[in-house]
Copies of this chain bind each other. A is one copy, B any other.
Amino acid sequence: MALTLYTLCGIDPARPFSPHCWKAVMALAHKGLAFEEAPVPFTKIAEIEGGASRTVPLLRDGDRLVADSFAIAAHLEEAYPDRPSLFGGAGGLAAARFVEAWSIATLHAALSPIILVDIHDRLAPADQAYFRETRENRFGKTLEEVVANRDAGIAAFPDRLQPLRLMLGRQPFLGGEGPLFSDYIVFGALQWARVVSRAELLPEGDPVRDWFERCLDLHGGVARRVPAAAA
């Protein structure tokens, strides 16, 4: 198979969880490309493709290696122009950079203090040690301290999505009538939480929740195949 996507998993390789890897999975599915997904844990990333990248997703496409979810989407758009567009033109690609920045600054920043320990608990011991050390360095406190106000974070989370909620009053996807890569950027963040955590982040009847369900249904339900985190 010509296309291999290296993604991130914990102790269970059937439950890849990285938001950025989910963006790449959805981008490949959107293009209708067959690919093999190869989930690896944190401490094995350095071993894939001869140490080609310190991060996943990493895409092997024939003789090309592409790291970074946005770069992967841009590569697919360029390499497979006859398949459904991921950006809907140059303006859509540029705007996707804003959506990416919004997702990182607003959603990822709010989700980390909710799901950080959930992630830790789903890793194998060697990855737990790596994860704890790198994240505690990044946040300047213990994982447990980062999630100390988890319940308040969950309660405050829906408000973060107000711009998307407002937009959904006009159109069903960030891409307009159908999804584009911008949808997958935001979807990735919420799928990250769905796969690792039982936190209920969006109330029933929330238009954002309905949009998320629509995304789970896309492309043969590729993202729904991984069940939501269970007890």
Interface residues of A (CB under 8 A from B): 85, 87-102, 104-106, 162-167, 170-171, 173-176, 180, 182
* Copies in the assembly, this chain: 2
Q: State whether B182 touches A102 (Cβ < 8 A).
A: no
Question: Which residue of chain B lies nearest to A161 when distances are taken between CB atoms in the complex?
Answer: B105
CA distance A192 to B163 in the complex (A): 20
Given A92-B94, A98-B182, A106-B162, 19 other A-B residues pairs in contact with their CB atoms under 8 A: A88-B89, A88-B90, A89-B89, A89-B90, A91-B93, A91-B175, A92-B92, A94-B173, A94-B180, A95-B99, A95-B174, A97-B171, A98-B99, A100-B167, A101-B163, A101-B164, A101-B167, A102-B163, A105-B163
One of B91, B106, B162, B165 near A88 (C-beta < 8 A): B91
Question: Which residue of chain B lies nearest to A175 when distances are taken between CB atoms in the complex?
Answer: B94
CA distance A63 to B166 in the complex (A): 32
Q: State whether A95 touches B182 (Cβ < 8 A).
A: yes
Question: Taking the nearest CB of chain B, how far is it from the CB of A182, in angstroms?
Answer: 6
Question: Which residue of chain B lies nearest to A100 when distances are taken between CB atoms in the complex?
Answer: B167
Instruction: Please give, as numbers and ranges, the residues of chain B lying within 8 Å of A91 by CB-CB distance.
Output: 85, 87-89, 91-93, 95-96, 175-176, 180, 182
Question: Taking the nearest CB of chain B, how far is it from the CB of A192, in angstroms?
Answer: 18
Instruction: Please give, as numbers and ranges, the residues of chain B lying within 8 Å of A164 by CB-CB distance.
Output: 98, 101
Question: Taking the nearest CB of chain B, how far is it from the CB of A55, in angstroms?
Answer: 17
CA distance A180 to B98 in the complex (A): 13
Jot down 30 A-B pairs with beta carbons below 8 A, ordered by A. A87-B89, A88-B90, A88-B91, A89-B89, A89-B92, A90-B176, A91-B91, A91-B96, A91-B175, A91-B176, A92-B92, A92-B95, A94-B173, A94-B176, A94-B180, A95-B95, A95-B96, A95-B98, A95-B99, A95-B174, A95-B182, A97-B167, A97-B171, A98-B99, A98-B167, A98-B182, A101-B162, A102-B102, A104-B166, A106-B162
Question: Taking the nearest CB of chain B, how far is it from the CB of A99, in angstroms?
Answer: 7
CA distance A54 to B180 in the complex (A): 35
CA distance A95 to B176 in the complex (A): 8
Q: State whether B95 touches A163 (Cβ < 8 A).
A: no
Q: State whether A94 touches B162 (Cβ < 8 A).
A: no
